[in-house]
Structure 1
């Protein structure tokens, strides 16, 4: 038996318990940090070769593990930019160094430039949204990502192109009877333009409809009904001609296609069942909403919601093996597996909760218990070192 070995064993034990106390200290300090994942110290024995007549004391080594895959509880807030992930996945954020990282810390706040940054100063990333197709993502890389910016669109106007107008025409009206109704459309500059629809009975079970702007006809169609008062052919549409800039003081009202397939001729008063045209007047951004699948909608003053971004998400095969960095972010390691990109609510990715934060998964009671255990074990290891030191002193004094 080596007394020096005994002392080194005591030092090894004290270092191991000091490491455990360090992780406990970090956990307690971050018990209120949104999205924080606790660290734990795992111990492994270190055995040295020994003979039958002599035992060489070894020691203990430690390995720090992170419970990144363990989801915390949720705290609900009044801010729609506070985001939590219910299930697997990570937000993609960009640091001031221009590098992308993974995080579960979704305490984002709108900045003066319109971007969303969390408490650690990392900017939320996503993809531009298309109304016709999902954004194309690079599965194993961050190419194509852009900063989500809530002020990237100010005043906007959309010209009308399609609409629907379904009415009931009284079947007992005499030939030559006319009835007028109207719809509001929007030109290329967001100005409202009133379109008049005039229905005239031209024969039994047959009506004509004329669309006019400012007293000028821009489209017409004939509606023919069967004995049951239903259109004999569907769909039935009327297509208007475009109204040019010379008439609209520099703006343009494009050609409109109005669907009238729901029009009937029954023995009841004239009634509009459905009437609407797309497009919108010039409107400013007054707010935003974020859906469970990560679509960021900009809300305009006219009440319209327009999808603008899709929040990007990422995952790895072994989240607990990610490399943690300052700011509650993670990067890929050799043992975590490659980063795979995706969307919330798609495949194995969780959904996004707006107005909520994921709490730290630290259990204070468990950490305090670990702290007391480490304190006792540290003291016991120090006694081993102290005893070995005292025995060394006895051995040295034998010469006197």
Structure 2
């Protein structure tokens, strides 16, 4: 038996317990850190070969592991830009160095420039929203991502393009009977434009409708023909198409107004459906984020306009990601390649707006580990002390 080996074994044990205490200290310090994933120290024996009947004491090595894939609980907040992931996946954020990272820390706050940054200063990334198709993503990389910027829609106006106007025309009215109604449309600058519709009875089951703006005809007169049951048979398709108008530098675009639901029955003139799209200029009053990651701007007129799709990422082995300062992660050789996707698809979790994922640290478990490490450190120090005393006894034999 080597006394020096015994002392080195004791030192190895003390170092291992010190490493364990370091992870415990980190875990306790970050018990309230949003999205933090606890670290743990795993021990592995180091055995040296024995020769000539003499036992050579070895030691212990440590390996730090992270419980990144373990889901934390949720704390609900009043901020719609606080985000948590329920299930698999990570938010993509960009640091001040221009590099993209992964994180579960979703405490995002709108900044002066319109970007969303979490408490560590990382900016949330995503794709421009499209109503016709999902954005094309690079499955194994961060190419194509852009900053989510809420100020991109601070003031919004949308010109009208289509609508519907369904009325009942009294079948018992005399020939020459006239009735007017109107719809409010919006031009390209958000100005409201009143369009009038004038209905005139020509003969039994036959009417005309003319659309005018500011006294000028923009469609018609258009013949409306009804069958014996009072259902509209002409025009086909049952659409009024107006001509574009330019006023004060703003354009009132061509409008397609559906009239297919109009009837001719023995009842008073009545509008059963009158609507048109578009909106006046309005400001952003809030934000909404759906569970599939679509971020919509809420305007003062009550309209919700989708602007961005929050991107998500994952790897084959999340627990082997490389942790970095700021509670973010980067790809490592052991984690596998980054795979991109969207919330709620292909196994990715859903996004919870107005919630934060808590740290997955169990304080009771950490305190227990701390006590165990303290006891084991003391025991290893006794091994070192005993080896030192035996060495002193051996040296004193010469005296």
CA distance in 2, matches of 1:51, 1:203: 119
* TM-fit CA distance, 1:139: 1.1
Counterpart residue number, 2:395: 396
What's 2:38 paired with? 38
1:242 to 237, 244, 260: 244
Residues 118-157 of structure 1: pairs in structure 2 closer than 5 A: 118-157=118-157
- How far apart, CA to CA, are the structure 2 residues paired with 1:252 and 1:117? 39
Displacement, 1:83?
A: 0.6
Name the counterpart of 1:265.
264
Cα distance in 2 for residues equivalent to 1:93 and 1:146:
10
Residues 1:382 and 2:381 are matched in the alignment? yes
Between 1:261-270 and 1:20-29, the stretch displaced more is 261-270
State the TM-score, normalizing by the size of structure 1.
Answer: 0.96
Kindly tell me the number of residue pairs found equivalent between the two proteins.
397
CA contact (8 A) 1:235 1:260 kept: no
Residue number in structure 2 paired with 1:226: 227
- Please list the CA deviations of residues 174-199 of structure 1 after superposition, one character each: whole Å capped at 9, or x if unmatched: 22222211100011221100001112
Task: Name the CA distance, whole Å, in 2 between partners of 1:208 and 1:374.
Answer: 91
Shift of 1:6: 0.9
Corresponding position of 2:289: 290
**1:363 aligned residue:** 362
* Cα shift at 1:349: 1.1
- Tell me the distance in 1 between the aligned counterparts of 2:199 and 2:346: 52
Q: Is the 8 A contact 1:94 1:123 kept in 2?
A: yes
Inter-partner Cα distance in structure 1 for 2:81 and 2:197: 45
CA distance, structure 2, for counterparts of residue 317 and residue 269 of structure 1: 68
Counterpart of 2:13 in structure 1 is 13
Q: Please give the secondary structure, in 2, of the residue aligned with 1:232.
A: strand
**Matched residue SS, 2:153:** coil
**Residues in 2 aligned to 1:159 and 1:87: alpha-carbon distance in whole angstroms:** 41
Where do 1:1-400 residues align within 5 Å?
Answer: 1-51=1-51, 53-220=53-220, 221-232=222-233, 235-244=237-246, 248-400=247-399
| Post-superposition offset of 1:132 | 2.8
My pick for the range that moved more, 211-220 or 126-135, is 126-135
Would you say the 8 A contact 1:71–1:361 is kept in 2? yes
Shift of 1:384: 0.8
Asked if 2 retains the 8 angstrom alpha-carbon contact of 1:211 and 1:240, the reply is yes
Give CA deviations for 1:140-175 in whole Å, capped at 9, x if unaligned.
111111111111223222211111111222222222
Q: Secondary structure at the match of 1:333?
A: coil
Worse-superposed segment, 180-189 or 43-52? 43-52
| Aligned-residue offset at 1:79 | 0.9
Contact 1:287–1:299 (CA<8 Å) still a contact in 2?
A: yes
Q: CA deviation at 1:130?
A: 2.1
State the secondary structure of the residue aligned to 1:252: strand
Deviation at 1:347, TM superposition (A): 1.4
Q: What SS class does the counterpart of residue 35 from structure 1 fall into?
A: coil
Aligned to 2:319, what secondary structure does the other structure show?
Answer: helix
Task: Provide the alpha-carbon RMSD of the alignment.
Answer: 1.3
TM-score between both structures, scaled by the size of structure 2: 0.97
* Separation of aligned partners in 2, 1:367 and 1:150: 41
C-alpha displacement at 1:55, in angstroms?
1.1
List gaps (5 residues or longer) in structure 2. Answer: none
Unaligned runs of at least 5 residues, structure 1: none
